[in-house]
Amino acid sequence: MDVTDSIRLVSGVVLISVGVPLFYLARYLLAPEEKKKRIALSLKVISIVWMSVGVIFYLIVLLTHIF
């Protein structure tokens, strides 16, 4: 994989990581009141998963450069 492919891959990951929460936020705002609690809970779970994956990526990068 060359530098161009790496840049495209990272750009895709960034766009997905921004788009998924925005999609669920839009679903939340458009939903009727009775569904908002359920959607908000799923949005919270998704955001925790994405943040965890981001932290794992950073740790992998840091550990591979340190050792």
Indicate if the alpha-carbon torsion angle 29, 31, 37, 41 is positive or negative.
Answer: negative
* Residue 61: predicted pLDDT: 79
If one counts the domains in the chain, the total is: 1
Q: Which two tokens stand for residue 51?
A: 């943040």
Mean pLDDT in order along the chain per 10 residues (67 residues): 80 84 83 85 83 85 80
Q: Please tell me what DSSP assigns to residue 67.
A: -
* Residue 1: predicted pLDDT: 65
* Residue 45: predicted pLDDT: 87
Domain carrying residue 42: 3-66
The pTM assigned to this predicted structure is 0.55
* Residue 42: predicted pLDDT: 83
